Amino acid sequence: MTISITVHPIRHDYLSGMSFSAIGEKYDIDPRTAKRYALNNLPLEHLDNRPFSSVLDPYKKLIDSWLVNGRIFATTIHDRLAELGCMCSYTTVNDYVRRKIDEYEESGVYKPRVHIRKSKMPPVSRSSIEIQRMKGN
């Protein structure tokens, strides 16, 4: 009697010596997921649905139109989306807005942000009378 065992691709890669992180990079999955699939010889059928859609997908065109009209804070965008019924976190909105602003800066839609450092003020010279008052004499 012969028992046939199917070795799935992730398991095959693991048995051939690939690390879990290398398998993760190859299949675009987390190394922990790669480890679970490799050790349990799981099929790749569940990975066919990747990448997962974002909560922001239905709103991305609207967000882009707001951003193209001018710089706008991520908090304002998050508040507007909440009014429209979007159930997303501020962090999700902020990450997307930050990526889009970086893209717009590279493509020339926005001027690059310039951060102006405030210079330290030179120390104020005090008269001897003011120093004596501060000391309490």
Q: What is the DSSP string of the chain?
A: --------HHHHHHHTT--HHHHHHHHTS-HHHHHHHHHHT--GGGGGGPSPPPTTGGGHHHHHHHHHTS---HHHHHHHHHHTT----HHHHHHHHHHHHHHHHHHTSSPPP-PPPPPPPPPPP--HHHHHHHHT-
Q: Are 62 and 89 in a shared domain? A: yes
User: Which pair of structure tokens corresponds to residue 71?
Assistant: 């710089």
Q: Give the domain extent around 61.
A: 57-107
Q: Are 41 and 61 in a shared domain? A: no
Q: Domain for residue 63, yes or no?
A: yes
Q: Are 43 and 66 in a shared domain? A: no
pLDDT (0 to 100) of residue 69: 86
Q: Are 40 and 63 in a shared domain? A: no
In tens digits, the chain (137 residues) has pLDDT values of 566 677 888 889 999 999 999 998 888 888 998 899 899 888 888 776 666 678 898 999 999 999 988 778 999 999 999 999 999 999 999 999 999 988 888 888 777 666 566 666 555 566 666 666 666 65
Q: Domain for residue 30, yes or no?
A: yes
Q: Are 80 and 102 in a shared domain? A: yes
Q: Domain for residue 134, yes or no?
A: no
pLDDT (0 to 100) of residue 44: 80
Query: pTM of the predicted model, to two decimals?
Result: 0.50
Q: Domain for residue 132, yes or no?
A: no
CA 61 remoteness from chain centre: 19
**Tally of domains in the chain:** 2
Q: Domain for residue 92, yes or no?
A: yes
pLDDT (0 to 100) of residue 61: 94
Q: Domain for residue 24, yes or no?
A: yes
pLDDT (0 to 100) of residue 91: 92
Length of the chain: 137
Are 2 and 20 in contact, with CB atoms under 8 Å apart? no
Q: What is the DSSP string of 7-46?
A: --HHHHHHHTT--HHHHHHHHTS-HHHHHHHHHHT--GGG
Q: Are 61 and 101 in a shared domain? A: yes
* Amino acid, res. 114: V
